[in-house]
Structure 1
Amino acid sequence: MKKFGSSALDRRAFLRGVATAGFAAATSAAFAQQSDIGEILAAPRRGNWDDQFDARSSNKGKVASFQPIASPETASFIESAINTYSQIVSNGGWPRVDATVKLQLGVIDPSVAAMRKRLMIAGDLSESAGLSNSFDTYVDAAVKRFQARHGLPADGVMGEYSLAAMNVPADIRLNQLQTNLERVRTLATTDQGGRYVMVNIPAAQLEAVEGARVVQRHTAIVGKIDRQTPILDSKIHEVILNPYWTAPKSIIQKDIIPLMRKDPTYLERNKIRLFDERTREEIAPETVDWSTEDAMKLMFRQDPGKINAMSSTKINFPNAFAVYMHDTPQQGVFNKLMRFESSGCVRVQNVRDLNVWLLRDTAGWDRQTMEATIKTGVNTPIQVTDPVPLHFVYVTAWSTGDGVVHLRDDIYERDGQAALSIGTNT
Structure 2
Amino acid sequence: MEMVGKMSKKSGIVALSRRALLTGAAAAGAAAIAGQAAAQTAIDELITAPRRGNWDDQFDAKASRTTAAVTSNTPMLSANNFIYMQQAITEYQTIVANGGWPQVNPSVKLKIGAVDPSVQQLRQRLMISGDLPRSAGMSNSFDSYVDGAVKRFQARHGLPQDGVLGEFTLKALNVPADTRLMQLNVNQQRLQEIMNKQLERRYVVVNIPAAYVEAVEDDRVALRNTAIVGSITRPSPTLDSKIHEVILNPYWTAPRSIVQKDIMPLMRKDPTYLSRNAIRLIDGNGNEVAPETIDWNAEKAPDLMFRQDPGKINAMSSTKLNFHNAHAVYMHDTPQQGLFNKLMRFESSGCVRVQNVRDLVVWLLKNTPGWSRQEIERVIATRVNTPIALTDEVGVHWVYISAWSSKDNIVQFRDDIYAIDGNAQLALQANIGVETSAGSVEDDILPQ
TM-score, normalising length: structure 1:
0.89
- Which has the higher mean CA deviation after the structures are superposed, 305-314 or 253-262? 253-262
**2:46 counterpart (13, 37, 51):** 37
Deviations 1:375-401 (A, max 9, x none): 000000000110001111111111012
**Aligned equivalent of 2:109, options 94, 98, 102:** 102
Counterpart-to-counterpart distance in 1, 2:97 and 2:157 = 23
Cα deviation, 1:68-126, whole Å, max 9, x if unaligned, reads 11122100001111111010000000000012211111100111110100000000000
Q: Does 2:243 align with 1:239? A: no
**Whole-angstrom CA distance in 2 between matches of 1:41 and 1:410:** 48
Q: Which residue of 1 aligns with 2:371?
A: 365
Out of 356, 359, 370, the position equivalent to 1:353 is: 359
- Mind listing any 5+ residue stretches in structure 2 that lack a counterpart? 1-32, 433-448
Counterpart for residue 11 of structure 2: none
Q: 1:66 aligns with which of 73, 86, 101?
A: 73
Q: Deviations over 1:195-216 (max 9, x none)?
A: 1111111111111001111110
Q: Relative to 1, partners in 2 of residues 1:349 and 1:60: Cα closer, same or farther, differing over 3 Å?
A: closer
In 1, Cα distance between the equivalents of 2:288 and 2:67? 62
Deviation at 1:286, TM superposition (A): 1.7
Q: 1:299 aligns with which of 294, 305, 327?
A: 305
Distance 1:305 1:49, change over 3 A: farther
Partner of 2:288: 282
Give the secondary-structure state (helix, strand or coil) at the position aligned to 2:374: helix
Which amino acid is the alignment partner of residue 380 of structure 2? I
Question: Is 2:318 aligned against 1:309?
Answer: no
Moved more, 52-61 or 79-88: 52-61
Q: In the aligned structure 2, how far is the partner of 1:42 from the partner of 1:393?
A: 54
1:264-302 alpha-carbon deviations (Å, 9 max, x no partner): 2221111111111x2221101122222324643221110
Say if 2:349 is the partner of 1:340.
no
1:7 counterpart residue number: none
Taking structure 2 as the reference length, the TM-score comes to 0.84
Identify which of 372, 377, 391 aligns with 2:397.
391
The aligned length equals 400
SS in 2 for 1:222: strand
- Kindly tell me: are residues 40 and 327 of structure 1, through their superposed partners in 2, closer, same or farther at Cα, counting changes over 3 Å? farther
- Map 1:221-232; keep pairs closer than 5 Å: 221-232=228-239
Write the distance in 2 (CA, Å) between the matches of 1:18 and 1:394: 49
SS in 2 for 1:296: coil
* Offset, 1:173: 0.6
Out of 311, 329, 348, the residue aligned to residue 335 of structure 2 is 329
Q: How far is 1:369 from its partner?
A: 0.3
Aligned mate of 2:135, from 128, 143, 147: 128
SS in 2 for 1:81: helix
Q: Which moved more, 1:245-254 or 1:202-211?
A: 245-254
Preserved CA contact (<8 Å) 2:419 2:430: no
Sort the Cα spacing of 1:139 and 1:55 in 2 relative to 1 into closer, same or farther, 3 A. Answer: farther
CA distance in 2, matches of 1:271, 1:420: 42
String of CA shifts for 1:348-387, please: whole Å, max 9, x gaps. 1100000000000001111100000000000000001100
How has the CA–CA distance of structure 1 residues 216 and 35 changed in structure 2, closer, same or farther, with 3 Å as cutoff?
Answer: closer
Query: Could you tell me whether the CA contact under 8 Å between 2:228 and 2:346 is conserved in 1?
Result: yes
SS of the residue aligned with 1:236?
Answer: strand
Identical residues among aligned pairs (%): 60
1:160 maps onto 2:167 in alignment = yes
TM-aligned CA deviation for residue 191 of structure 1: 1.9
Q: Which amino acid aligns with 1:323?
A: V
User: Equivalents in 2 of 1:232, 1:189: separation in Å?
Assistant: 15
Work out the CA distance in 2 between the residues paired with 1:309 and 1:40: 58
CA distance in 1, matches of 2:188, 2:44: 55
User: 1:334-359 deviations in whole A, cap 9, x for unaligned?
Assistant: 11111111111011110000000000
Against the structure 1 CA distance between its residues 166 and 340, is the aligned structure 2 distance closer, same or farther, given a 3 Å change threshold? same
Q: Please tell me whether the aligned partners of residues 71 and 187 of structure 1 are also in contact (alpha carbons under 8 angstroms).
A: no
* Alpha-carbon distance in structure 2 between the residues aligned to 1:184 and 1:61: 26
Give the drift of 1:58. 12
Please list the CA deviations of residues 161-211 of structure 1 after superposition, one character each: whole Å capped at 9, or x if unmatched.
001111000001111111111221232342212111111111111110011
Structure 1 gap segments, 5+ residues each: 1-11, 20-29
Indicate if the aligned counterparts of 1:59 and 1:125 stay in contact, CA closer than 8 A.
Answer: no
Q: 1:34 to 1:292 in 2, by over 3 A?
A: closer
Equivalent in the alignment of 1:271: 278
Match of 2:422 among 403, 416, 419: 416
Corresponding residue SS for 2:384: coil
Q: Does 1:211 align with 2:241?
A: no
> Contact conserved, 1:151 with 1:203, CA < 8 A, in 2?
yes
Q: CA deviation at 1:318?
A: 0.4
Q: Distance in 1 between matches of 2:295 and 2:34?
A: 74
Aligned AA for 1:85? Y
Do the aligned partners of residues 251 and 17 (structure 1) sit closer, same or farther apart at CA in structure 2, a change above 3 Å counting? closer
1:85 equivalenced with 2:92 (yes/no) = yes
Q: Within 2, Cα distance between the matches of 1:102 and 1:330?
A: 32
Alignment partners' CA distance in 1, 2:34 and 2:126: 29
Call closer, same or farther: CA 1:61–1:332 in 2, change over 3 Å: closer
Q: Please say which of residues 326-335 and 244-253 is displaced more in the overlay.
A: 244-253
**Range moving further from structure 2, 218-227 or 348-357:** 218-227
1:148 corresponds in structure 2 to 155
